[in-house]
Amino acid sequence: MLLTGVGAIAAAKKARSVAEQCRGRDVIFVGTCGAFANFSRVYLIRAHEVLWSPTCERLKLAYTIKDTMPPITLPEPPSYLTGIPSKKVLCSPGISLVGAVPDNLSTDSIVENLELYSCIGEIMAQAQSLAVILAVTNLVGSESHLQWKQNFPLAAGMTAEFITQRIDALQKDRK
């Protein structure tokens, strides 16, 4: 198990060393995220695209220089991820206290995570295969952190159980 740390800056600082340790391996990136709509319980999603999208940009208070933070399209996920909803992941440097979203995206199709954009490009370049599994732990907004703290233990257990079951099934298939 490798840790990126908490937040975009910590993940960026560790990206190269984590990626080096992922060289030629099958990698499962695990984390948590917040939903922009319809959150009532913890559930798992897989990521298919990652966007740098700070809250200040979503509120039209700032902008990123064009083409400096392009979207990252993730590779096709391994077959063991079938059945998990696929979402775009918006990444920002801080936890958003408002549920503002880019005009061109539906709240049902996106989640927010802090670390993924900062490190996934480096990891993707080194890994043999890559899966990104995130547990949705909260609704994006003023209660995000409190909901995350309450739901993190369940999210960690749910993610571990899912991965364990899928890896066990894969190993049985290979025999």
Tens of pLDDT along the chain (175 residues) come to 666 778 777 887 878 888 877 888 888 899 999 999 889 999 999 999 999 998 888 888 898 888 888 899 999 888 888 789 999 999 999 899 888 888 888 888 899 999 999 889 888 988 888 899 999 999 999 999 999 999 999 999 999 999 888 876 666 555 5
Domains of the chain, earliest start first: 27-121+129-174 (3.40.50.1580)
Q: Please tell me whether residue 17 adopts helix, strand or coil conformation.
A: helix
H-helix or E-strand spanning residue 168: helix 144-174
CA distance 133 to 160: 11
CA distance 127 to 131: 10
H-helix or E-strand spanning residue 23: none
